[in-house]
Every structure is written in C-alpha cells, then in structure tokens.
Amino acid sequence: MGLLDFVRDAGEKIFGKDDAKAASQPRPGAPAGTAKPAGAGDAMRTGTTFDELRERALRQLLEKHGFGVTGLTIDVEGERATVEGKVATQEMREKIVLVVGNTAGIAQVDDRLEVERKEPEAKLYTVKPGDTLSKIAKQYYGNANQYPKIFEANRPMLKDPDKIYPGQVLRIPEGA
C-alpha cells in the first residue's frame, strides 16, 4: 500500500486528559506561547520520548482490536507512523493501517506490512461532512441498503454505523 495520507487532527485520541493538560503547558525555557506536544507530561516523567509514548499507545490500540501481527514494529516520527510486520490477509493489513492512520496526530502511515495471502486491495474513502454509511454505500454499490457491508469491513474500528466523522478513512470492499 505504501505511504497513505490521513487527516492529522481527526481520529481517536490515544492520550488521556493529563497528557492533554501537560501539552498545553509551556516547555521549560521555551518562548512564551509554545506548548509541549500531547503526551509530553508522561515523557518528561519517564525519560521516554513523546514519539516512543505514541508508538506504545498505537501498539496497545492494535492489541486492543486483536490484530495479530508477527514481528510488529511501529516507528513514529512527528506526524508519520511506519508500520512493519507480517499479517495473514490484505484485509488485516488495511485495518491495521486505518487504525493507525485514524488516530489523532497521525497524518501519514508508511505501510511496510507483508501479507501472507495475497488478495485484491479494498478502496479507501475519506468521510466528508454530511456523509453516512448509507450515502457512501449508494455511491459505491448503487444501493444505500448495502451500508452494513461497509460497516462490517471497518469493524472493530467502527462500533456503531451511525458514528463516522469527517476525515475518517474507511475501507470499501468490492461489489455488493
């Protein structure tokens, strides 16, 4: 799949309130009006870098969704996340890339995942304001009632077919 672009400020927030509060505080010795990046509070306390915290959080997010990746490595540098490892299917690969990319603060995912069983790639669609899964299904399949196919193709990232947001990237599987 290569390098994929996402909306940086859209998506799941993987840090808690304490980190958001720490992010709004000025860095020691920094000019007034500058802030630490989200998660910097934990990084300063533990000696870990902000990107390392984000790598750990992304790994935990993938584990939470039950994605099995052999030799998983996630490297975060600023707004870009590089994901490497081996997965069983193309569907699993796409879901992993979407989970990582649909995370607030990630603008690009460099997909270096290997797939054991080759399959055709699904189309990707970026949600626009006013979109619903029914509207997207009508566009791709000619039938709004095919929305469950898109919903199922994006589980476990989607928990409710009525809860999608602008900037979110979804998998659109082949035909109805």
Q: What is the CATH number of domain 123-172?
A: 3.10.350.10
Distance CA 51, CA 84 (A): 16
Q: What is the CA radius of gyration of the chain?
A: 18
Got the DSSP string for 92-130?
Answer: HHHHHHHHHHTBTT--EEEEEEEEEE--PPPEEEE--TT
pLDDT digits (tens, 9 = 90+) for 11-51: 777 755 444 333 333 334 434 433 444 444 544 455 668 88
CATH class of 2-117: alpha beta
What are the sequence ranges of the domains in the chain? 2-117, 123-172
Q: Greater confidence, 66 or 132?
A: 132
pLDDT digits (tens, 9 = 90+) for 88-136: 999 999 999 999 999 988 999 999 999 998 888 999 999 999 999 999 9
Residue 73, SS3 per DSSP = strand
Check whether 173 has a pLDDT greater than 70: yes
